[in-house]
Amino acid sequence: MLELLLLSPEGWASILEGSAAVETHFSRKPADGFCEMYGTGDITQSYFAKLLAPGAANPWLHGFIVLHQESQLIIGGCGFKGPPDKDGVVEIGYGITPAFEGKGHATASARLLIAFAAKHPEVRTVMAHTLPTESASTRVLTKCGFTKVGEEIDPDDGLVWRWELAHSSVLG
């Protein structure tokens, strides 16, 4: 079973400092590869600046760490790429450390994000982007009820597939 723990600017700072700082901040040990997940270039420097800016923890901005309850290890992260837009759309993202991949944890994390979004009436659609090829991430989204609705050009990733989960289908 998994639990999502809200990140804060201080939590993000600990991730950038490394495993020892994460363990000190969260009183939980990160799984091997956790901190390294955030150095892959998936998060731009300008976005890191937003995450580290002083202020209260905000689930729409800061996201969550994924805690594996049985082992008490931090095994990943997930969150939204901002608050709902004017059309009620939020975008999700998720990542799990290599030793915990392929065990349903990314799917469970995505479902927890969907459940969080469902508690907010302003959210009408949850969406995600993937690279334009079948992958573990496309399987996660399919298992969660998402439908591939088209292709877009992402400024950082180039061509991507857009996936959506409409409010009426799962969000309630």
pLDDT tens across 121-132, in order?
999 999 999 999
pLDDT tens across 15-27, in order?
999 999 999 999 9
Q: Which domain holds residue 70?
A: 2-171
Q: What is the CATH number of the domain that holds 100?
A: 3.40.630.30
Q: How many domains does the chain have?
A: 1
Q: What is the mean pLDDT of residues 57-78?
A: 97
pLDDT given for residue 166 in this prediction: 79
pLDDT given for residue 39 in this prediction: 67
Give the C-alpha separation, 46 to 37, whole Å. Answer: 17
CA angle (172 as vertex; 133, 166 as ends), nearest 5: 30
